[in-house]
Chain A
Amino acid sequence: MSVETTTRAKLRWGLLDVIVVVFALIPVLWIASLSFKTPATLADGKFWPREWTLDNYRTIFDTSQFVRALVNSIGIALIATLIAVVLGAMAAYAISRLDFPGKKLLVGVSLLIAMFPQVSLVSPLFEIERQLGLFDTWPGLILPYITFALPLAIYTLSAFFKQIPWDLEKAAKMDGATQGQAFRRVIAPLAAPGLFTTAILVFIFCWNDFLFAITLTSTERARTVPVALSFFTGESQFEDPTGAICAAAVVITIPIILFVLFFQRRIVSGLTSGAVKG
């Protein structure tokens, strides 16, 4: 494209860029704007608040309903991410480095799971978890999250692992390290950026889930924020929960915005390498 690096072309691209950015940001700005509006101006239909207030945020952090859900969301997503990345890294290492029968099968199985309709699991998991006492608990949600995050983790990580200079591993083995030691001492540190990227993607997936969270929980014990949001009602039936919902929505959007701002490059490379393969 270097042929037409003219001012005009630049302007044209710039215009397209602006359209994309505006289109992507408007819904986010809108819900943020609503969260800062006072009850009196909430329904004025203006895009920007005329009077700003933090009351909505005070309200939600005063209710145990939201705080508990936030703790659940963070705890469940972090634990699920940690386990999924560890298990995924083990499998991805084997897939990208070792020769063993059944490798294709594993890749095939994870592909099938990536395509699996999650809603099909809702009824049986509901019944199984009720019988096992996992219903409405953290592990009850962590388990399906790990399962559906694993294909993503395995694909992304094997893509990353394939780019690592494996001669170093050979060198380590020549120096007397076992395959396991070579993995822990040499390859793991090199793989850290890939692991981190994968962790972000998996975390976003867990943080986002609504279907499992709403079907496999019934109380504040394990209910995550997206579900709590959909159940928010005002203090009394005359109070409109809109402001509180928007404030809570903004709070759970903050981590996503931070990830995107700081790790845009990583997320893009993680998604394009892993996802296309998968």
Chain B
Amino acid sequence: MSINATPAGADVAADAEQGSGRHAAVPAQRSNRRTKKTPLSENKRAERKLGWLLCAPAALVMVLVTAYPIIYSVWLSLQRFDLRFPDQREFIGLENYVTVLSNQFWWTAFGVTMLITVVTVAIELVLGMGLALIMHRTLVGRGIVRTAALIPYGIVTVVAAFSWKYAWTPGTGYLANLLDGSAPLTERASSLAIIMLAEIWKTTPFMALLLMAGLALVPEDLLKAASTDGATSWQRFTKVMLPVMKPAILVALLFRTLDAFRVFDNIFVLTAGSNETSSVSMLAYNNLIRGLNLGIGSTMSVLIFITVAIIAFVFVKLFGTAAPGSDDGERR
């Protein structure tokens, strides 16, 4: 198993179990880097150049395909631009934003998206933690459990969505037939519940894998010591494991929250947004492809972008997630 520590987690674990080979390598590497910081030699300059050269293509693609379109999107959102009436295209300032933000459909979709995000992420955290413990600790059939858990992760979301859809279709489905003939996908509350079920089924394994990486950092000695001191398994979980795992949990929460906010595939297949089950992504899609309204579609794009940025910002500020990916602990 090659599990890497999160930056903050690595330190906690290193403090707890000093001398473990993997962690011992980290300081060595660091001092190595420091000694390299001599005045720019020929070698040094060549290294820099190579570094830039190697990174340039990746950086270029990433920036060209995201930064440019999002800026272009802001520009489009300030225009009246309906592809069905291209000659009416004109600059209208913030009018599109007023239109969207005073629109009831937008707020309904926003509410639905928020609801799905909060409920699924909360349930996934609990289930994911359970699954992580099972995958990490199980005494029998570890390989089988891990393999099985990877299937929901890997499967095409649309395929899984169709499976759930037919399962809940009256007559056809094994689940629908448990419910005396009602059609759950034609009502709002039950549709939303099924959408959330499909989301949870699909993404819990991913959450569990992220948590499992955190779990691997919990020093075995500490658990044994707590156990000897008479801690119950619940106390060991809350007092020993959770604190060590905190960075991993926050990273998992951040990523899943942002991911859940983009919910689209499941809704598209399961309800196509009927009965007020559209998410903001569904709404943006409908405005673009069905409505061909680029101005309004772009406005929604920008609003979704801002919302996601706010969520990420709040996470990092509020929980002080040592900004996941703040490189390899070189900060300190």
Contact = CB atoms under 8 A, between A and B. Distances in A.
B209 A123 contact: no
Given A24-B152, A226-B158, A253-B159, A272 B285 contact: no
B73 A123 contact: yes
Contacts of A179: 46-47, 50
Interface of A: 1, 3, 5, 9-10, 13-14, 16-17, 20-21, 23-25, 27-28, 30-31, 34, 42-43, 45-47, 87-88, 90-91, 93-95, 98-104, 106-111, 113-128, 143-144, 146-147, 150-151, 154-155, 158-160, 162-163, 179-180, 204, 207-208, 210-211, 214-215, 225-226, 229-230, 242, 245-246, 249, 252-253, 256-257, 259-261, 264-265, 267-269, 271-273, 275-278
Interface residues of B, number: 113
- Main SS at interface, chain B: helix
A115 B150 contact: no
Interface in B42-79: 44, 46-48, 50-52, 54-55, 57-59, 61-63, 65-66, 68-70, 72-73, 76
Contact of B301 (A90, A122, A257): A122
Contacts of A115: 254-255, 258, 308, 312
Given A31-B163, A163-B2, A24 B148 contact: yes
Contacts of B1: 268-269
Given A87-B58, A111-B324, 19 more contacts: A3-B227, A27-B163, A34-B166, A45-B173, A87-B57, A106-B58, A108-B325, A109-B63, A110-B62, A116-B66, A117-B261, A127-B294, A180-B50, A208-B157, A211-B265, A214-B285, A267-B154, A271-B210, A276-B3
A120 B258 contact: no
Contacts, number: 344
A256 B202 CA distance: 14
Contacts of A118: 262
A120 B70 contact: yes
Interface stretch (B11-19, B100-108, B131-139, B184-192): B131-139
Contacts of B298: 123-124
A144 B66 CA distance: 8
